[in-house]
């Protein structure tokens, strides 16, 4: 039977799994890495600096500081901001755990907040509600690559005297009006994980305009030593001092070479993602069983993820059933994210339970991340739409 679900013994829409994300590595990326491998510096060398300069220029900030991962970079921002024990940082619950973990690494506490029902980004009214005498900062996530309401958030933060850290892991290349994501807070963090818009294998970058924050960020990734090995070599000196606890969060030159090569392609990657997202919206909009992602006027999303929400009222099954049926059709759908307050460690630490953040939980029950990556073809998009059509037709409430 043509329309029988793969889950029920029918033929799957695709023969092989279409993943939700996949990196693009081309010959010149490989050559750049090989070149770095044959050079004098495998880590903390000239390519790291080159990547930092190019990244700062792309985002439009004075400084960029490279880290070994986006998570390490987030840790660095909390250190640089001098946030520590007894301090609170407001974090949306609808994000990856690293957005909150970074505060705990430094002995501070994340204070979770609910999100806007349309964008699923931090709700400015929630931020205002969660600020106390102990609040030192806010981590703002640009979920899926959709810019958060930074104008309101910045105004609230300024009034409260707290620091704004953008978690821009989804948002390389995203814009809000004439402002770039990554240039709207005191510091911003990007990730170079292979699932993100551009990759270094692993890696993270902090952007900032503040020279003192940039200096603290550079020290923190290198044990808080006041000089780097390269500087000591150049000045034929051995001396350094360490005044605070730091880590080894250094990015290698091998990774930086890849990151640099990828950064040159960012605009092409973004254009491709935009085109694929438009194809999804064109195919799916108007289907009563789902809601396509909204693009607010004046924003340019970076399309890290294409997340649809199921209209559960129109279906006889829940999201997990739709998820399972699509996976059986070899469509690599995913779920971003399980709200942080529902994860065991965070629920225990912060004393949260289901029901605490209704907007995030309602979204969580409905979301499905559809495959989206640079090398996807139009035929791949069509296969996802066909699988959705098959599965949603089967489960539609008539």
Q: Which positions touch ligand PLP (CB under 6 A)?
A: 69-71, 95-96, 98-99, 141, 167, 169-170, 191, 193, 204
Helix ranges, 38-80 (H): 46-59, 70-80
For ligand PLP, which is the closer residue by CB, 165 or 385?
165
User: Residues with Cβ < 8 Å from 39, sequence gap 6 or more?
Assistant: 45, 47, 253
DSSP state of 251: P
CB of 203 to ligand PLP, least distance (A): 7
Q: Which residues are bridge partners to 331 per DSSP?
A: 18
Task: Give CA–CA dist 25/259, Å, rounded.
Answer: 11
Number of H helices, E strands in the chain: 14, 13
> Are 170 and 143 within 8 A, CB to CB?
yes
Which one-letter DSSP state was computed for residue 117? Answer: T
**CA-based nearest residue to 150, from 125, 112, 176:** 176
The answer to whether residues 275 and 243 touch, using CB atoms and an 8 Å cutoff, is no
Shortest distance in whole angstroms from residue 193 CB to ligand PLP: 4
Q: Shortest distance, CB of residue 392 to ligand PLP, whole angstroms? A: 27
Beta bridge partners of 204: 67, 191
Rounded least distance, CB 195 to ligand PLP, Å: 7
Q: Which of 61, 110, 318, 15 is nearest to 208 (CA)?
A: 61
Nearer to ligand PLP, 71 or 255 (CB): 71
List b or e across 337-348, with b for residues whose CB sees 16 or more CB atoms inside 10 angstroms: bbbbbbbeebbe
Other CB atoms closer than 10 Å to residue 117's CB: what's the count?
13
Is 159 known to be catalytic?
Answer: no
Q: Which member of 136, 159, 196, 265 is catalytic?
A: 196
Kindly state the smallest distance separating residue 30's Cβ from ligand PLP, in Å.
Answer: 21
| Least distance between ligand PLP and beta carbon 92 (Å) | 10
Work out the angle between the directed axes of helices 70-80 and 98-105 (0-180°, nearest 10).
Answer: 40
Return d(Cα 256, Cα 83) in angstroms, integer.
29
Residue whose CB is less far from ligand PLP, 52 or 167: 167
In the complex, which residue's CB is closest to ligand PLP?
Answer: 70
Tokens of 25: 């590595």
Report the DSSP beta bridge partners of residue 175. 180, 300
> What CA–CA distance (Å, rounded) separates 204 from 74?
9
Closest CB 76 distance from ligand PLP, rounded Å: 12
Closest CA to 296 of 106, 193, 149: 149
Of 122 and 388, nearer to ligand PLP (C-beta) is: 122
Catalytic annotation, residues = 196
């Amino acid at each position: 039977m043509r329309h029988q679900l793969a889950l029920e013994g029918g033929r799957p829409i695709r023969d092989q799994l279409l993943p939700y994300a996949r990196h693009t590595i081309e010959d010149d990326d490989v050559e750049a890495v090989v070149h770095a491998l044959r050079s004098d510096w495998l880590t903390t060398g000239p390519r790291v600096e080159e990547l930092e300069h190019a990244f700062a220029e792309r985002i439009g900030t004075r400084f960029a500081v490279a880290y070994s991962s986006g998570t390490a970079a987030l840790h660095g921002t909390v250190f640089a901001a001098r946030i520590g024990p007894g301090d609170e940082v407001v974090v949306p619950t609808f994000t990856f755990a690293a957005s909150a973990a970074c505060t705990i690494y430094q002995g501070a506490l994340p204070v979770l907040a609910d999100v806007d029902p349309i964008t699923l980004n931090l709700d400015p009214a929630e931020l205002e509600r969660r600020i106390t005498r102990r609040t030192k900062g806010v981590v703002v996530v640009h979920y899926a690559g959709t810019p958060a309401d930074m104008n309101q958030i910045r105004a609230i933060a300024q009034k409260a005297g707290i620091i704004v850290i953008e978690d821009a892991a989804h948002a390389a290349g995203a814009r809000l009006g004439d402002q770039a994501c990554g240039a709207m807070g005191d510091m911003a963090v990007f990730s170079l994980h292979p699932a993100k818009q551009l990759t270094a294998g692993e890696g993270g970058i902090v952007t900032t305009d503040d020279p003192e924050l940039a200096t603290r960020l550079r020290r923190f990734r290198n044990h808080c030593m006041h000089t780097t090995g390269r500087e000591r070599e150049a000045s034929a000196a051995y001396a350094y001092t360490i005044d605070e606890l730091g880590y080894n969060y250094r990015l290698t030159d091998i990774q930086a070479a890849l990151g640099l090569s990828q950064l040159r392609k960012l605009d092409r990657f973004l254009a491709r993602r935009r085109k694929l997202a438009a194809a999804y919206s064109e195919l799916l909009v108007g289907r009563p069983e789902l809601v396509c992602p909204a693009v607010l006027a004046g924003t340019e999303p970076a399309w890290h993820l294409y997340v649809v929400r199921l209209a559960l009222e129109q279906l006889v099954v829940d999201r997990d059933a739709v998820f399972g049926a699509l996976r059986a059709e070899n469509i690599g759908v995913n779920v971003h994210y399980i709200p942080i307050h529902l994860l065991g460690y965070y629920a225990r630490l912060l004393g949260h339970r289901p029901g605490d953040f209704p907007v995030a939980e309602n979204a969580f029950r409905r979301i499905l991340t559809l495959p989206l990556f640079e090398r996807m073809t139009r035929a791949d998009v069509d296969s996802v739409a066909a699988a959705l059509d098959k599965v949603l037709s089967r489960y539609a409430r008539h």
